[in-house]
Amino acid sequence: MNKLILPGTMTRDGSQSLRRAIHLLRTMSMHTSTGWRLTDLAYQTDLDHTTVHRLLKSLVDEGLATRVPGSKRYTLGSLAYEIGLAATPYFSIEAKLGDSLSKLAESTQEMIFLNIRSGCDTVCVARHKGAKALMAYTVDVGTRRPLCLSAGGVAILINLPRKQQMKIEAENLRAIERNGQARAAAVKQILSQSRALGFGLNQENIIPGIAAIGVPIRSKSNEPIAALSLASDNLARLNERRDKLLARLYQEAEKIERVLDQLRF
């Protein structure tokens, strides 16, 4: 006997599976070099092991995910790369602004980051090193992090509508607290300082020896969709030059906003 399928059931179930699969892909993009164990993916996404196993199998079959050779870890697959290539001409800010950002890093002698917002996260799309920039920095192009976890991300967050801020902050903190209460407390301090000042400020709150400032980049509709930030391995040097550096970041952010008109953000 055929099972009765209620109107809308297939669509609803399909949408849920799609959202969960996208959630998995976002999570896998956070550690593409090492990949993720199935157990860690289940823990990070709050999905049960059976669901993660089923979704991973489908993603692997379609080429959106793959097993890291010689391990039981999963990461993004070749199809994710191919889809990204097709979208690049319409979203690549770096292609239009690489020279300008490189000159900014050279003139400030610090490390410059360009990040775009992706839901509750930011994704690094450009990184340029100045003469004094820290060489062993962990944020590479493609790195995805919660908005609350960087000066650039916070610069975006505090310029969103208040209700949206609170929702994202709560979501971010749930994820961050999995790595300990100390980091969550540091994030709350960054948020408090940044809201008071009106720009993203990280005074070595997350990683000892690394400080940063960040400003938002807005769309035509005035929505903060990206951020420009500067990181330094010398807090005293950063604080001494902060006003001048902020002025440079805001100036560059205005240039980037004009370029966004040519893209599909």
Clarify whether residues 132 and 57 are in a common domain: no
**What is the reported pLDDT for 2?**
39
Looking at the structure of the chain, the number of domains it has is 2
Q: What is the CATH number of the domain that holds 230?
A: 3.30.450.40
Q: For residue 4, tell me if it sits in a domain.
A: no
Same structural domain, 106 and 46: no
Checking if the pLDDT of 97 tops 80, the result is: yes
User: Which pLDDT belongs to residue 7?
Assistant: 43
* Whether residue 75 is found in the same domain as residue 144: no
204 vs 130, residue with greater confidence:
204
CA distances from 264 to 41, 86, 93, 225, 255 (A): 31, 13, 10, 12, 16
Question: Do both 206 and 174 map to the same domain?
Answer: yes
pLDDT in tens, 11-66: 567 899 999 999 999 999 998 889 999 999 999 999 999 999 999 999 999 999 99
Q: Check residue 139 and give its pLDDT.
A: 83
User: What pLDDT score does 5 carry?
Assistant: 38
- The pLDDT of 202-227, averaged and rounded, is 95
For residues 108 and 130, the answer to whether their CB atoms sit within 8 Å is yes
Last residue of a domain, one of 60, 82, 104: 82
Average of per-residue pLDDT across 218-237: 95
Residue 133 is predicted with a pLDDT of 57
Confidence of residue 4 (pLDDT cuts 50, 70, 90): very low
Instruction: Tell me what pLDDT residue 179 has.
Output: 79
The domain boundary, picked from 82, 102, 126, lies at 82
The CATH number given to whatever domain includes residue 66 is 1.10.10.10
Q: Which domain holds residue 225?
A: 92-260
> 179 with 136, same domain?
yes
The answer as to whether 119 is a domain residue is yes
* Residue 191 phi, psi (nearest 5): -60, -45
How far, in Å, CA of 157 to CA of 238, rounded?
22
Pair (73, 109) in one structural domain? no
Question: For the whole model, what pTM was predicted?
Answer: 0.87
Residue 242 CB contacts under 8 Å (≥ 6 apart), including other chains = 213
Condensed to tens digits (0 to 9), the pLDDT of residues 83-93 reads 999 999 999 88
Q: Do residues 247 and 143 both lie within one domain?
A: yes
Going by pLDDT thresholds of 50, 70 and 90, the confidence category of residue 1 is very low
Dihedral angle, C-alpha 143, 149, 153, 159, nearest 10 °: 160
pLDDT for the residue numbered 60: 97
Q: Is residue 40 part of a domain?
A: yes
Mean pLDDT, the chain, integer:
91
For 97-129, what is the HEC assignment? HHHHHHHHHHHHCCEEEEEEEECCEEEEEEEEC
Task: Indicate the burial class of 65 (C-beta count within 10 angstroms; 0-12, 13-18, 19 or more).
Answer: buried
Alpha-carbon distance of 131 to 122, in angstroms, equals 26
pLDDT of residue 8: 44
Residue with tokens 């000066």: 151
Per-residue pLDDT tens for 157-202?
999 999 999 999 999 999 899 878 999 999 999 999 999 999 999 9
**Per-residue pLDDT reduced to its tens digit, 101-141:** 999 999 999 999 999 999 999 999 999 998 765 655 668 89
Same-domain check for residues 117 and 70: no
- What is the SS3 assignment for 73? strand
Q: Of 30, 56, 82, which one is at a domain's C-terminal end?
A: 82
68 and 133 together in one domain: no
Mapped onto helix, strand or coil, the DSSP state of residue 223 is coil
Cβ neighbourhood burial of 208 (10 Å; 0-12, 13-18, 19+): exposed
Same structural domain, 154 and 224: yes
Within a domain: residue 3?
A: no
